[in-house]
Amino acid sequence: MKNTDKPRILLVENIHPIAKEFLEQDGYQVDLISHAPTEDELIALIPNYTALGIRSKTEVTAKVLENCGGIVTIGCFCIGTNQVNLSAARQKGVAVFNAPHSNTRSVAELVIAEMIALSRQLGDRNSRAHQGEWVKSAEGSKEVRGKTLGIVGYGHIGSQVSILAESMGLHVLFYDAVKKLPLGNARSVHSLDELLAASDFITLHVPEIQETMNMIGKRELALMKPGSYLINASRGTVVVIEDLVAALKSKHIAGCAVDVFPVEPASNKEKFVSPLQNLANVILTPHIGGSTEEAQKAIGMEVAESFRRYLKIGSSSGAVNFPNVDLPVKKGTSRLLNVHRNEPGVLGEINTIISRAGANIEAQFLSTDDEIGYLVMDVHSKHANQLAQDIVGLKRSIRTRVVY
Ligand code: NAI
């Protein structure tokens, strides 16, 4: 890896090339490693870098963070962030970003495909044709046009499914725990029960939280229309699988498409076992709702953009372990960023340093959580570096930098 005087970013685990391209255009030196580095490799590598980009296999442990040198941000070029010790990162003043919504369109498209596939029994017809059986029959096959789709969870994915479904002539109803603006002609209903009773297709797009655990079980399946379909591309714990199997066997539910399971194989090498296997009109997919080339590219761009905004202007909006601050850029000033332990009196100490220097604060924004405070200040350029040096000296200061 050649060393230049540009700020350096390390991207590991074959992150989509668009991220490197994007960051290089912005003046960074980007080095690539194709594998997931071990703890020791990371400790040896990262002190020379300003930012680290990983995917799901690189473990950023407390020990790595203890030795992270000049790293100010870590980007998870994926959805999950549990491979990073978020609390240790916060205590070291390292903001962690991810890309939770770059794959929403991919999930929405899969759901639309599955609605039609279920309605036409494509899974079964396809496998039987492969086995040499010719099942030419219209029985039980229906168009989706004019049917009612019920969406549970009208967030990033649910609302996109809504738009796509309407364009194919479905009536869309949705239920969300929070009041949401309906898009197009979609209509919100007051309860999950109402949605279940009124829909020909139910698709689930809620997060995995306490309230959504086992949200669809025996009672809810019984409320669904006879002959209706269930699609789950949210999280496996939302549906009680045994109850779904019973509803399918009794033919009350005419079919289902499931992409997520309560227990999923940890890798492609492990065997997948589910009570839903070998049932009629059941489409099973290996958690691929968001797995497309377009989503990988969008993830590359989303996290690279988070790096750019955090490194260049200190915007931490979207950080998963850090107070979110997004202060507009003020022309003719310099910006100083400080992360400190959130203890009484810290801000007073910082402001004393500023007033002693006779510096005028043009803008200041502080956001805190239980452990840290993140302070963004715009000051006259002539004062910025001296102020930063004095603030670094404070006992409770964790990280200070001048970004422009
Ligand atoms: P989001 O956060 O944008 O939307 C979730 C919606 O569910 C919100 O509007 C929220 O108010 C609503 N909600 C929460 N609790 C609820 C409850 N008890 N009842 C009704 N509504 C409730 O999330 P997004 O991005 O749309 O993702 C939805 C789900 O899809 C998540 O579980 C996510 O993990 C999953 N997902 C699955 C993928 C796959 O590969 N199959 C890929 C990406 C996301």
Number of domains in the chain: 3
Nearest CA to ligand 1 atom 17: 177
- Residue corresponding to tokens 């809620």: 206
Residues 19 and 11: beta-carbon distance below 8 Å: yes
Give the residues surrounding ligand 1 with Cβ less than 6 Å away: 101, 103-104, 107, 152-158, 175-178, 205-208, 211-212, 233-235, 259-260, 287, 289-290
Measure CA 294 to chain center.
15
89 & 176 share domain: no
The per-residue pLDDT for 381 is: 80
The preferred substitution site among 161, 202, 206, 287 for testing ligand 1, maximizing ligand atoms within 8 Å of CB, is 206
**DSSP code for 270:** S
Tokens at 30, concatenated = 């980007």
CATH number at residue 375: 3.30.70.260
Q: What's the CATH code of the domain at 221?
A: 3.40.50.720
Predicted local confidence at residue 110, as pLDDT: 98
Domain identity same for 79 and 219: no
Query: What does the alpha-carbon distance between residue 289 and residue 242 come to, in Å, rounded to a whole number?
Result: 22
Look at residue 3 in the predicted model and tell me its pLDDT. Answer: 52
Q: Are residues 80 and 179 in the same domain?
A: no
> Is 367 in the same domain as 316?
no
Cβ pair 345, 328 in contact under 8 A: no
Instruction: Render pLDDT for 18-43 as a digit per residue (tens, 0 to 9).
Output: 999 999 999 999 999 999 999 999 99
What is the reported pLDDT for 330? 85
Low-confidence ranges of the chain (pLDDT < 70): 1-5
Atom of ligand 1 nearest to the CA of 206: 7
Model pLDDT, residue 235 = 95
Dihedral sign from CA coordinates of 249, 217, 193, 205: negative
Show which of 271, 300, 322 is a domain's final residue.
Answer: 322
- What is the domain extent for residue 12? 1-102+292-322
> Which residues does residue 283 pair with via DSSP β-bridges, in sequence order?
257
Sign of CA dihedral 245, 222, 202, 149: positive
Helix, strand, or coil (residue 222): helix
- Do residue 131 and residue 250 come from a single domain? yes
Residue with tokens 């690279």: 304
Domain co-membership, 150 together with 230: yes
Under DSSP, the state recorded for 273 is: -
- Contact criterion met (CB below 8 Å) for 111 and 231: yes
Answer yes or no: do 297 and 189 share one domain.
Answer: no
What is the enclosing helix (H) or strand (E) of 97?
strand 95-97
Decide if 92 contacts 72 (C-beta within 8 A).
no
Q: Are residues 243 and 313 in the same domain?
A: no
Catalytic site positions: 235, 264, 287
Per-residue model confidence (pLDDT) at position 2: 52
**Which tokens is 76 given?**
């998870």
Residues 42 and 18 in one domain: yes
